[in-house]
Amino acid sequence: MINKLISKIQKTNAPIVVGLDPTMKFVPEHIKSKAFAECGETLEGAAEAVWQYNKGIVDAISDLVPAVKPQIAMYEQFGVPGVIAFKKTVDYCREKGLVVIGDVKRGDIGSTSEAYAVAHLGKVQVGDKSYYGFDEDFATVNPYFGSDGVNPFVKVCKEEKKGIFVLVKTSNPSSGELQDRLIDGKPLYEIVGEKVAVWGEECMGDGYSYVGAVVGATYPEQGKVLRKLMPKTFILVPGYGAQGGKGADLVHFFNEDGLGAIINSSRGIIAAYQQEQYAKYGAENYADASRAAVLAMKEDIAQALAAK
Amino acid sequence: MINKLISKIQKTNAPIVVGLDPTMKFVPEHIKSKAFAECGETLEGAAEAVWQYNKGIVDAISDLVPAVKPQIAMYEQFGVPGVIAFKKTVDYCREKGLVVIGDVKRGDIGSTSEAYAVAHLGKVQVGDKSYYGFDEDFATVNPYFGSDGVNPFVKVCKEEKKGIFVLVKTSNPSSGELQDRLIDGKPLYEIVGEKVAVWGEECMGDGYSYVGAVVGATYPEQGKVLRKLMPKTFILVPGYGAQGGKGADLVHFFNEDGLGAIINSSRGIIAAYQQEQYAKYGAENYADASRAAVLAMKEDIAQALAAK
């Protein structure tokens, strides 16, 4: 799957992933009205609105980008109907040929991580048969449990030819509270980065490992260090746009081959129509605004990489 | 909710939580056959089997214990039908008057943690109405993101009078890889423990905070240190029984008032009928075996506390 992701990045010329993180305040009124008319002002109605909203965006951008990253929290907030909308979104994006990174940030003790790995990447045994649960292509994983919590994901990735991105340095303001603390003179995120590099060594695709890392766009200096520390690790970089990261900040997340990183933008793309810059599209044409925002992001990153 | 949990612990005289972590190999044949006959050898069939299995256990033990802790990974592995079984289990246990600790180990950047907090503890706004998503009483939270990732849970807990347990020192063998690393001479888990104590200060119930901590039964020495470091923090202690923790190891997780900790057992209770000691009950009477195992665990912990 890491090979597929890279080949799609090269084909689209876009090291970009669109975060499908819907909240009700992003969903245009006409979609909400229709969904509420059909399903009521209920969790089912909200889930239907979210799904239709996503579908519009995916239809508008699927030829431009290699991957999407639905954030499961945004679906879980609508309970069971929301989780159904998550699954519909995952399936639809995969049908469209997009690589789906399930942003689930799971991680637990070994036997429990095994269940999460099966849930999101693998197949569960039911009697004589086996079934995929959510069936994403990649999942994000929290490293707090150490190897026990990560290995079950690696095992399933090997079986299924899928991948993971392990949290190393997260994009949020308080990420330093634990992640920047020094251990033998090195910040915790470097310790985790070294582990990711080791976990990834025996999980190599053609040029990169299918055990990747998450490093926030909001920490470009740390990104530079981590890039060197994990040369064969693909880095998923959230925090572009709405969280403050810019194209020029991101060049050091890439290797000399122009690969090695994929930049996520969520709000900046999916709610583009709410920004002054794209307001001219109007809420009815929100998906066109998203398409324009993807094109602008591609250009920003391409320019930054060209100037590197 | 922390007051309710403590009052139920006192009433049942059992600082015990039963982990409802079903896997297909725990579910007795007669339950599987019936569920597969009704729903097929499918994810729906597996979810029905898990739900019926849980219901049997809950009916057999709900008068003995204050709380249950369904581990959501075990349900997610069965995809959407599994998540439906999780929600049915949560609702059923709450109807039975049990405190439900959703073992979800969520945590993310602020806006995403907000969605997780709403999903598991709070209400989501849909048009003019608002709805609970999964509606557990407590949730477990991963601290890797720092305060940003925890504060949204605390906010929802205040609004809803619910609670969280933040991972401090986990029960798995490799938990030390990151959690034991020294920062200014102190292991990371102590740094997290200190943070939990601070987060908990402004979230006090009558005697304990509703911001609790997770500390594994398998690390009794660390439990002793953390108990002193977080005197007002309720500690959720997994790892009893199947993972190797014993009653005598656990006394130091409790304060002098005999409170301050709740011990979880999962496999040891829910799959008791598969152990030699309880084999006489037979698979048909698996729930009676679970009841006997709860009684034995109560006795083990009561004796250990009496001998303290």
pLDDT digits 0-9 by tens, A56-102: 999 999 999 999 999 999 999 999 999 999 999 999 999 999 999 99
Q: Of B131, B143, B145, which is closest to A43 when you measure between CB atoms? A: B131
Token pair recorded at residue B240 = 């009893």
Judge if pTM exceeds 0.90: yes
A73 contacts on B by Cβ (under 8 Å): 106, 108, 112-113, 115-116, 119
Q: Three-state SS for A187?
A: strand
Has residue B242 got a pLDDT over 80? no
Task: Indicate yes or no: CB of B45 within 8 angstroms of CB of A127.
Answer: yes
Beta-carbon contacts of A113 under 8 Å, excluding residues fewer than 6 positions away, are A106, A107, A145, A148, A149, A150, A151, A152, A153, B73
User: Phi and psi dihedrals of B20, rounded to 5?
Assistant: -90, 80
Q: Closest by alpha carbon to B116, among B100, B98, B136, B96?
A: B136
Q: Which of A283-292, B121-130, B183-192, B299-308 has the lowest mean pLDDT?
A: B299-308
Mean pLDDT computed over A220-229: 96
Would you call B12 an interface residue with chain A, using a CB distance cutoff of 8 Å?
A: no
Which residue of the set B105, B161, B224, B232 is catalytic? B105
B109 contacts on A by Cβ (under 8 Å): 170-172, 238, 243
Has residue A243 got a pLDDT over 80? no
Q: Is B158 a catalytic residue?
A: no
Distances (CA, A) of A202 to A59, A226, A227, A229, B132: 37, 19, 19, 16, 43
Would you call B109 an interface residue with chain A, using a CB distance cutoff of 8 Å?
A: yes
Cβ pairs A/B, distance under 8 A: 228
Top pLDDT among A127 and B308 is at: A127
Nearest C-alpha in B relative to A267: B111
Average confidence score pLDDT of chain B = 96
Task: Indicate yes or no: CB of A41 within 8 angstroms of CB of B126.
Answer: yes
A145 contacts on B by Cβ (under 8 Å): 170, 172, 174-175
Query: Amino acid letter at B109?
Result: I
Token pair recorded at residue B251 = 């006394």
- Residue B138 Cα, gap to closest chain A Cα (Å): 15
Residue B41: exposed, middle, or buried by beta-carbon count in 10 A (0-12, 13-18, 19+)? middle
Q: Using CB atoms and an 8 Å cut-off, which of residues 166-225 of chain A contact chain B? A: 167, 170-179, 181-184, 188, 191-192, 195
Integer Cα distance of B268 and A258 in angstroms: 52
Catalytic residues of A: 105
ipTM over 0.95: yes
Query: Amino acid letter at B200?
Result: G
